Structures are given as structure tokens and as C-alpha cells.
Chains A and B, each alone.
Chain A
Amino acid sequence: MNQYINRKYVIVGIFSLVVLIFISRLFYLQVIDQSSKLLASNNVLRHVSKYPARGLVFDRNQKLLVYNEAAYDLMIIPNQLSEFDTLEMCEMLNLTKEQVIQRLSKAKAYSYYKPSIFEKLISARTYAPLQEKLYMYKGFFTQTRTLRRYPQKIAANVLGYVSEVDGKITKEKGYYKLGDYIGAKGVEKSYEKVLRGKKGVEIFMVDVHNRIKGRYKNGKYDTAAIHGGNITLTIDAELQIYAENLMQNKIGSIVAIEPSTGEILALVSSPSYNPELLVGRVRSKNYLELQKDTLKPLFDRPLMARYPPGSTFKTVNALIGLQEEIVHTWTRFPCVHGYVSGRFRMGCHPHKSNLDLIKSIQNSCNSYYAHLFRNLLDHPKYGSFENGFETWRKHVLSFGFGKRLGVDLPNEKQGYIPTINRYNRIYGEGRIKSLNIVSMAIGQGELLMTPVQMANMAATICNKGYYFTPHIIKELPQAFNDLKMPLTVKRYSDIDSVHFNPVIEGMYLAVNGLDGGTARNAAVKGLDICGKTGTAQNPGKDHSIFIAFAPKNTPKIAIAVYVENGGYGATWAAPIASLLIEKHLSDTITRKYLENHVLKGDLIHVIKK
């Protein structure tokens, strides 16, 4: 009857085989393969950033320069939308109907379930009426952000701005997610880590439709946002405002440094812009406009513009000459309304002839420095021209020229001190003669410097040989103090301190000399200002340059003023520097006529003609 009874083994065998296959597969899925555990937590957890407010920025007198104002992103979740009054929304947000429709479809294209930004950084004023009506707009909600505000509206180039991160930054720096903001210029960039604080995170559990179902482990792993650290700048807001006012309608830079510390008191780039222009919803539109401006208000001149230093550089050549014993304080050179060698002639302005070193600075004699420079380069003790040139170059570099000083602001430029190789390329190997480059004796030729390097030159001279890296930061939160370390190191030039006295004396006389000086109009009684004018030749009208420090014996401020196409150094740069020194040292302006003259001075609209 039961001839097929053995088939029960086949059937039980099939059952067992299938169960065995399943158990092996489950063993692989559950015990060996770990990837699904990771996938599972990505599936179910949503990390929501809590944005911290950025740190505040103060000036050296604790005057507030940058603070935050609450702003609101209007967020949208398309699948929760119901009908709403489009017209009312257009009015509240100042949008056109087309814009609203376009943003709706953009949000839907991104995701129906995930929130995206409908309108970003709505100001508090716009937000107030919106908030009252928001309950009628299903699917919309707001998230709190902050906007930067600038009570003083000054020093845009120093303070910089923040901008939204792009895909490149999010890839390079793991901290940032799309929609975050990052310091893009100025101290916002260089002290980004201090100012940004630390984002917090709230972890929610979401279901497959991305709906929040509660806090993950009751918020055990949530972190609070940590407010950004406040920073104090070395800027003196009052001096900065005054300096910016003096520079109005002029193109150029002012850098004022406290020589005993390297702290930057004022850093002016002119023309500048109102920092509030680059905040919030209007940022991108305004940025484009500023970028198109032919006067380049976004260009940070004090750190990025490279100019010839002109006659201000004679101070450095004098110091090198003294150090190398090419000249002594008593050494005199003739001046025949200029310097003549063979058929070469370099002009000079009228002054008494046969000046000594101090008088050569006082009167800015071109001929003196042509002699000095050529005697140095061709001196037999170096054996060759190359060695002479290298000796000179080494001294120049020790002042911090030709390299970044290390200012704690982004985008500082190096300037340029030519190398012998460059001349070999121009003139042919070993064919270069000292006469070919004699214009560098008076700060012309290939030499290029940034205004901050020129101010640092003044600081080094009044410190008699050393400087601190010019910097903008005065106080940081405790945890970041090591950022200040490189700024507190004394850096020495390789000129002996004794050699500075005659140069300082010459600079004092240039301003205060009773028998005349190139910058007599910069003198202020009792302030003992020392200065050196410069007039840099360039394809357009000469640039007006002045470096100075005061008081002579206990210097409190060193300054460089560079006015593009301003003519002689004494025309614009010297009066501006003098007014600023007076403002800084005595806090009053005695020479109202000079102040008025400078304030009214308009070089931009002259150029435009």
C-alpha cells in the first residue's frame, strides 16, 4: 500500500534544506554583515543643527563694532502645505507672485518631506507681522538665525563679512553643512574658529515620511549650541572713523601702528563701503555691485596693494649704508640739482648742496642716495656686484619687506624685493651694473611694498631696530590665547640700534627743521613728529606718501599714509598723517583749516575727468 513511503524523507529533506538556507542567510545578514546597522541608524535619526550666535567684536576701548540681530529663515515642507493667501505672502515678504511660485516648485523639486529654506534671513521687522499670520500657512515654519549688525559702520575691510558655505567648503571641512555661514573676509575669516562658536545638535527619530516621532534616547545625545567667543580688536574706533573721514574722496590707505606692541590702531582702505551692505538678503546683490565698482571698494589696499615706497625708502638705504660703513653721519655727497653719471641724470629738487646724512633725509636728496647705493653695490670689499647686491637685499629683507609680515587678516600680499636672478634675466648673466638699478636708491624701480609694510618700516625705525608683527587682535577668549603667540615676538632687523639715531634725527628735521624740511606742514607743536615724505612716480600722477611716528623719544604711534595720485608726499599724505597723530596723541585738532582742507580734498572726481 505504502510503496512511496520513502518519499517522506525527500519532503522532510526539502523542508530542512530551505530552513537551513534561511538560517545561513540570516546568520550572514544579522551576524556577519554589519552594514545594515549603520544604514538603520541613518534611516531613522535626523540630526538638526542648533545654530550658535557668532561672537561679538569690540574695539580697543570696548566700543561695540559688531553684534547680532535675530533673523529668521522661513522654512517650507511641501507635503504639509494647504491652500494659502499667496498675495498676502507676497506683500509680507516683498516678493512677486512668480517668485513665490518658483520657490514653491524649487522646494518640491528638492523634497516633499524634508524642510527647505523658502526665504532666508528675514529681518525682525519683517518677521513680526509674518509671525502673527504664520498659523494660517500650513507647512511653513521659521528657524532662528542671526544677522551681523555694525553700529559704527566703519572698517569694513577689517571686519569682513560672513557668507553661506558652498559645496567645496562642506567637502573640505567636515564641520560645515550646506546652509551654514562662514567668515569670508576680515576678522570674520581669520578668527572664524573663535567667532563661530559650536553648533549644537538635536537628534530626532523620524519615520519613513520624515515626520519627527520624538527625541532620540530622550535627548541624551543632544548638545547645546555654544555661543561664539567675543574678540577685542586693536582698532581705535574713534581714530578709525577720523582716518576714514580724512580719506574720503581719495584713493589709498592708512595704517597706524602702536610701535611698542605692533597693535594696529587704524587700518583704512579707501574707498570703502558700509559693512551693512553685505548682510542678509541683500548681500549677493550688493556684492555684485561693489565688485563692479571701478574704484574697487572690496580691494583691501593696506594689505593687498603693492606700491613703490618712493623716498620713504631712503631711510632704509641710509641705515644699510651706515651698517655697512659705506657712509657715516658726516659723509657728504654733492648734488647738482640731481645725480649725474656719464649720460645718466636723475633729477633732484632745489636744496643746498653737499648735505650730510641727516640733512639728506631732512631734504630728501636723491643724489645722496644714488651715491650711497652705488658705492654700496660696487664696493670692492664684497668682491663682486652680486655679493654687494645680496648684502643689500639681506638687510632689506630683515625689515620684513618682500614677504608677508603675518598680519592676522586674510589675503596679505608679499610685496616685492627683486633678486639678482631677475636682473640676470633682464640684462644677461653678469651684465648688470649698479647704474641700471640706481632708481631703487630712492625707492623706485622694481621695489614694491604694501602700506602695512611701510607703516611697519616707521615702527621699526622708531623702535631702533625691532618690530612686532602688526596685528588686529587684542583680546581673545582664554582658550584661544595661543593664537596670539606669534604676535608677541620681537623681530629684529639686522641693523645696529645706534645707526637709527641719525635717521630719526633726519626724520625729525624733515618735519620740524627750522632751516626747512620736506614735511614742514606736518609739524605740530609739542608732539615731536618725525616723518619722511615720498613721492612715487607711476604712469599716472605721482602717489603721495608719508611715513611718520611720534613723539620722537617715546613713540606711541607709527603711521603710513598712501594717497594714490596725490602728488608730492607733503601735499596730502603728510597733512593726513599729522592730523591723525595729533588726534591720537592729544585728542584735539588745533589746525581746523588743515582739517577742512583735507576733508574737502577730492582726488577721485579729478581723476575721473
Chain B
Amino acid sequence: MSLKNNNIWSDIDWPTIGIYFLLVALGWFNIYSAVYNEDQHEVFSFASRYGRQLIWIGASFVIILITLILDSKFYSAFSFPIYSVVILLLLAVLIFGVRVNGAKSWFVIGAIRIQPAEFAKFATSLALAKYLSQYNFKPEKIKFFLGFCLITFLPAVLILMQNDTGSALVFIIFFLVFFREGMPSVYLLVGFLAVTLFILSLLYEIPVVIIVLEFFGLLSFYLLRRELKWTFNAAIVIVVLNVIAWQISVRLFPELSLTYPLLVSLALSVLWYLTKIYKHKLKESYLLITILFASLMFTYSVDYVFNNVLDDHQQRRINHLLGIESDPYGAGYNVNQSKIAIGSGGAYGKGYLQGTQTKFKFVPEQSTDFIFCTVGEEWGFVGTSVVLLLFLLLMIRLVFLAERQKSVYSRVFGYAVTCIIFFHVAINVGMTIGLAPVIGIPLPFFSYGGSSLWGFTFLLFIFLKLDTNRNELVN
């Protein structure tokens, strides 16, 4: 059945391939500029990064051929075996790997270094596609949710243990894939609430967060029941109890943190609410109170994790991002220099090879994680918008392709590819312009590096191969 239409070149999606080659070519020209040095400019020198990148690009043609030659059913059939091999590699790298830039995530074979974390992304995508496309899959069942979490977080935790936080965070984006496959919306909302609380608890002291939560609790209650009188009574109770507890603590225990009297009074008022809720049978209000306490615990754990788990430099980077700390030569140095480089490009840029900021190494990692600076400086706003729109075009095209798949397996894998690309673009570009924390992940197809380029090429072309069999069931 699959051999009926044997001509792969007529079924493959050429617009996507076009965008792919355009991005890879643009990436190479920008890497060339980023490491360009007037003293030596042989294009095909293996010693220079642009020379090596050419070799990586050449090698991706081999990868493309292999992925396209293999039968679609191969991926489906070997999803879990591939996943298992990669998990083993991730374990192996913990033992035999080499530390580069503080992350023990590289295998070194002669002159070539390989980062298995890059391959973990497509392996996990394959496994998830297989898992979510199984016949009796019910997204709302907690069993499947836990299975999903296991597949997603096993590689993430292993990568985290390699001290490569950036690559580990990518796995969060699989929730968006799960969302498309029917994950209850409340998870997404809880995630959103968690992020908001996370930022709030870092920006403000805990007592402030408690008061804000109390306010939103009352507001939600009113929106749920539309009972102005009850809401008003509840507000009176909590305000009075808050003030009494506050006064007692100020007078009797002046050295005590304001958090404790607030928590005690909140607990007392909640006791009173519970009797009322029980009496009037306000079922949905139980959930409200549960969420309130869950939020409080989350705030505390954020505080705890931030102060006790995160390293100093991670704390500083988060603080800098939130504008709590300003330190242009310390934690914020990279971002500051990168913003200067991008901003100095102006509307039309300084011209190809004319950038001064990136060329003279003011921006660190300018051929890998900060390659977008070279685009910004030399091609200006025109260049940055064109690159971002190209990525958006690619992502929308991929969503379109994913939606036309007959088999769920292909669709899930398509969404996985798209979401991984999205997460990389969002975080990578976001950090160069100061909108995302500085976690070192590459810009897909653009950044220097064989592992990264090959990883994304694998992802994209496996999906394009699956797409050639879009009208068949491959799972």
C-alpha cells in the first residue's frame, strides 16, 4: 500500500525544504561574519568555525537522505527502541562524557564532539508520538498523564544531571503537544498560574503575595456565586482577623516576620468560611480554597528553591531578568552586550561583515547561542524581522502539515517538532533581547554546531518523510 506512490520527490513538502535551506544558508553566512577575521579568510578551512559548519551542513545531506530512504513504519516501529538507546546514551555520557563549559554532556571521538542531549529531543518525540497515538489513549485519564510525564521527564532529568539546564527545559514544551491531543485545559491554566506566582514571589515579599492571593480568592468567589453580601462578609472577616493578628504580632513579637500572623489569621478565617460553605452547600468553593492553599505552598517552595537550590549565577540571572538586580558587567553582561549589538544595527543594519560588536567578541558565544546578535547588528530590524517571520512561517507550515496527517502518530510527531523549534526560537531570541533568561540553547538551523544542526535536521526530515505517507496509517 505504501509503495503505491513510490515517488518521494513529488510527495515531499518543498516549501518546508525551501525554508529549511534558506535558514541553514543564512545561518552559515552569519557564522562566517561572526568569526570573520580580516587576517585569515579561507572559506574551506576545517580550522575555522564556518569551515567546520560547512562540513556539518554537508553531513546533514547524508542525514536527510537516510531519513527519507527509511520507511515511515520504521520510525513508528522503532520509536521505543530508539528512545531507550538515547536514554542509555544519556546515562553513559554522565559517566564517560567530557565537561564543556560546565556541562558534562559531550562525547569526544577524535576531533568530533557529540552532544546526545540534541538527539534526546527527537527520540522523545518519537516515543511520545507512539504513546499518545495508542488505540485506547484517553487524555483525561490520570494514568496517561503520568505516562506522558514519565516519558518526557526521564530524559529531562538525565540532562539536568549533566548540568545542561537549557536543554532540559526544552522538554516542558511537550505539554503543548499534549494539549493539542486533549490534555485538560486546567493543566495549562495551572501552569500559567504557577509561572505568574513564580514571578510574583520573586518580585515581592511573601506577605504581599498572601494579601494578593486573599484578594483574588474573594474576587473568584464573587465571580463564581455573584453573592455580593456573602463576599462582603467574607472580606470583613478576613480583613479584621488580619489586622488583629498583625497588631498582636507587632506589639508582642516585634521581631517576628509578618508572614506568620497573616497565615494564622488566614487559617482562622478559612475555618469560619468552611462552616459557612458546609452550611450553604457551596461545593465549588472547596476547590477555591484548595487552589488558594496550593498557591501558597507553591510560593513557599519557589522561595525555598530559589534561595537554597539554585546556584548564585542562576539566581543573579533570574534577578537580572526580572529587573531586581542591575549589573551590566556581571550577570547581565551577556544580555547587555547583546542588546547593544542588536540595537546598534538600527533599522537597516551595518551591512554584512561590518558589525563591530559581535566581531570583536563583546558578545560572548556569538556564533552559537548569540548568533541572533550578528543578524541584528549587520542586517538591522529588517533582518531580524525577516528571520523571525521565516521561523513563524515554518512553524505555521508545520502545524498545517501536522493537521493533514491521517495517522495520529504522524500528527503528534509533527507537533513535537514544531513545538521544539518554537521553544528554541522563543528562548534563544528572547534572551538576546532581554525577554527570556539566559539559558544556553541554540537557534535552530542558525547556530554553529554539528549536534544541533543534525538534531534539528533529523527532527524535521523524519516528519517530512512521515508527511509523504500522510494518507496512510503508519502507527
Binding site for B on A (CB under 8 A): 3-5, 7-8, 10-12, 14-16, 18-19, 21-23, 25-27, 29-31, 33, 35-37, 39-41, 43-44, 205-209, 213-214
Q: How far is the CA of A491 from the CA of B115 in the complex (A)?
A: 91
Q: A15-B392, A33-B343, A39-B344 are in contact. Are A208 and B361 (CB under 8 A)?
A: yes
Q: Is B388 an interface residue (CB 8 A)?
A: yes
- Let me know if B385 and A26 touch, CB within 8 A: yes
- Let me know if A36 and B347 touch, CB within 8 A: no
- Let me know if A12 and B396 touch, CB within 8 A: yes
- Let me know if A7 and B179 touch, CB within 8 A: yes
Q: Kindly provide the distance from the CB of B414 to the nearest chain A CB, expressed in whole angstroms.
A: 11
- Let me know if B360 and A25 touch, CB within 8 A: no
Q: How far is the CA of A213 from the CA of B362 in the complex (A)?
A: 13
Q: How far is the CA of A22 from the CA of B391 in the complex (A)?
A: 12
Stretch from B88-96, B123-131, B297-305, B425-433 at the A interface: B425-433
Q: Specify which chain A residues have a CB less than 8 angstroms from the CB of B291 in the assembled complex.
A: none
Q: Is B223 an interface residue (CB 8 A)?
A: no
- Let me know if A40 and B180 touch, CB within 8 A: no
Q: How far is the CA of A31 from the CA of B347 in the complex (A)?
A: 5
- Let me know if B381 and A30 touch, CB within 8 A: yes
- Let me know if A11 and B356 touch, CB within 8 A: no
- Let me know if B388 and A22 touch, CB within 8 A: yes
Q: Is B201 an interface residue (CB 8 A)?
A: no
In the A-B complex, the 9 residue pairs with the smallest Cβ-Cβ separation, listed nearest first, are A36-B343, A40-B344, A207-B360, A30-B381, A29-B343, A44-B356, A19-B392, A36-B340, A4-B182
- Let me know if A12 and B339 touch, CB within 8 A: no
- Let me know if B343 and A30 touch, CB within 8 A: yes
Q: A22-B429, A44-B360 are in contact. Are A11 and B176 (CB under 8 A)?
A: yes
Pick the contact of B180 from A11, A18, A29 — CB < 8 Å?
A11
Main secondary structure of the interface of B (DSSP, over half): helix
- Let me know if B180 and A8 touch, CB within 8 A: yes
Residue of B nearest to A26 (CB): B384
Q: What are some 29 contacts across the A-B interface (CB < 8 A)?
A: A3-B182, A4-B182, A7-B179, A8-B399, A11-B176, A11-B180, A12-B399, A15-B395, A16-B392, A16-B396, A19-B388, A19-B392, A23-B385, A23-B389, A25-B435, A26-B381, A26-B385, A29-B339, A29-B342, A29-B433, A31-B346, A36-B339, A37-B343, A39-B343, A40-B340, A41-B344, A44-B356, A44-B360, A207-B361
Residue of A nearest to B362 (CB): A208
Q: How far is the CA of A251 from the CA of B380 in the complex (A)?
A: 74
B192-224 Cβ-contact flags toward A at 8 Å (1 or 0): 000000000000000000000000000000000
Pick the contact of B181 from A4, A21, A39 — CB < 8 Å?
A4
For window 386-425 of chain B, which residues contact chain A by CB distance below 8 Å? 388-389, 391-392, 395-396, 399, 403, 415, 418-419, 422
Q: A21-B435, A22-B435 are in contact. Are A43 and B362 (CB under 8 A)?
A: yes
Q: Kindly provide the distance from the CB of A38 to the nearest chain B CB, expressed in whole angstroms.
A: 9
Q: Kindly provide the distance from the CB of B146 to the nearest chain A CB, expressed in whole angstroms.
A: 20
Q: A37-B343, A205-B356 are in contact. Are A19 and B180 (CB under 8 A)?
A: no
Q: How far is the CA of A5 from the CA of B415 in the complex (A)?
A: 12
- Let me know if A11 and B179 touch, CB within 8 A: yes
- Let me know if A26 and B433 touch, CB within 8 A: yes
- Let me know if B399 and A11 touch, CB within 8 A: yes
- Let me know if A22 and B433 touch, CB within 8 A: yes
- Let me know if B422 and A26 touch, CB within 8 A: no
Pick the contact of B357 from A10, A14, A40 — CB < 8 Å?
A40
Q: How far is the CA of A206 from the CA of B344 in the complex (A)?
A: 17
Binding site for A on B (CB under 8 A): 38, 176, 179-182, 337, 339-347, 356-357, 360-362, 376, 380-381, 384-385, 388-389, 391-392, 395-396, 399, 403, 415, 418-419, 422, 426, 429-430, 433, 435
Q: Specify which chain A residues have a CB less than 8 angstroms from the CB of B435 in the assembled complex.
A: 21-22, 25
Q: Specify which chain A residues have a CB less than 8 angstroms from the CB of B388 in the assembled complex.
A: 19, 22-23, 26
Q: A8-B399, A23-B385, A31-B347 are in contact. Are A214 and B341 (CB under 8 A)?
A: no
Q: A7-B179, A18-B426 are in contact. Are A205 and B360 (CB under 8 A)?
A: yes
Q: Kindly provide the distance from the CB of A218 to the nearest chain B CB, expressed in whole angstroms.
A: 11
- Let me know if B346 and A30 touch, CB within 8 A: yes
Q: Specify which chain B residues have a CB less than 8 angstroms from the CB of A213 in the assembled complex.
A: 360
Q: Specify which chain B residues have a CB less than 8 angstroms from the CB of A14 in the assembled complex.
A: 176, 422
Q: Kindly provide the distance from the CB of A593 to the nearest chain B CB, expressed in whole angstroms.
A: 78
- Let me know if A26 and B180 touch, CB within 8 A: no
- Let me know if A30 and B180 touch, CB within 8 A: no
- Let me know if A22 and B381 touch, CB within 8 A: no
Q: Kindly provide the distance from the CB of B5 to the nearest chain A CB, expressed in whole angstroms.
A: 24
- Let me know if B340 and A43 touch, CB within 8 A: yes
Q: How far is the CA of A212 from the CA of B396 in the complex (A)?
A: 46
Q: Kindly provide the distance from the CB of A46 to the nearest chain B CB, expressed in whole angstroms.
A: 11
Q: How far is the CA of A15 from the CA of B433 in the complex (A)?
A: 17
Residue of B nearest to A2 (CB): B403
Q: Kindly provide the distance from the CB of A6 to the nearest chain B CB, expressed in whole angstroms.
A: 10
- Let me know if B396 and A30 touch, CB within 8 A: no
Q: Specify which chain B residues have a CB less than 8 angstroms from the CB of A22 in the assembled complex.
A: 388, 426, 429-430, 433, 435
Q: How far is the CA of A356 from the CA of B131 in the complex (A)?
A: 134
- Let me know if B389 and A8 touch, CB within 8 A: no
Q: A15-B422, A19-B388 are in contact. Are A30 and B357 (CB under 8 A)?
A: no
Q: How far is the CA of A214 from the CA of B384 in the complex (A)?
A: 29
**B341, B360, B385, B419 interface centre (most CB from chain A within 10 Å):** B360
Q: Specify which chain B residues have a CB less than 8 angstroms from the CB of A12 in the assembled complex.
A: 395-396, 399
- Let me know if B361 and A43 touch, CB within 8 A: no
Pick the contact of A30 from B342, B356, B391, B418 — CB < 8 Å?
B342
Q: A4-B181, A39-B344, A208-B360 are in contact. Are A214 and B380 (CB under 8 A)?
A: no
Q: Kindly provide the distance from the CB of B381 to the nearest chain A CB, expressed in whole angstroms.
A: 4
Q: Specify which chain A residues have a CB less than 8 angstroms from the CB of B403 in the assembled complex.
A: 5, 8
Q: Kindly provide the distance from the CB of B2 to the nearest chain A CB, expressed in whole angstroms.
A: 21
Pick the contact of A36 from B344, B360, B415 — CB < 8 Å?
B344
5 further contact pairs, Cβ within 8 A, besides A7-B179, A29-B433: A12-B399, A39-B344, A40-B340, A40-B356, A209-B361
Q: How far is the CA of A214 from the CA of B37 in the complex (A)?
A: 11
Q: How far is the CA of A25 from the CA of B389 in the complex (A)?
A: 14
Q: Kindly provide the distance from the CB of A163 to the nearest chain B CB, expressed in whole angstroms.
A: 34
Q: How far is the CA of A27 from the CA of B403 in the complex (A)?
A: 33
Q: How far is the CA of A147 from the CA of B385 in the complex (A)?
A: 58
Q: How far is the CA of A157 from the CA of B384 in the complex (A)?
A: 66
Residue of A nearest to B391 (CB): A19
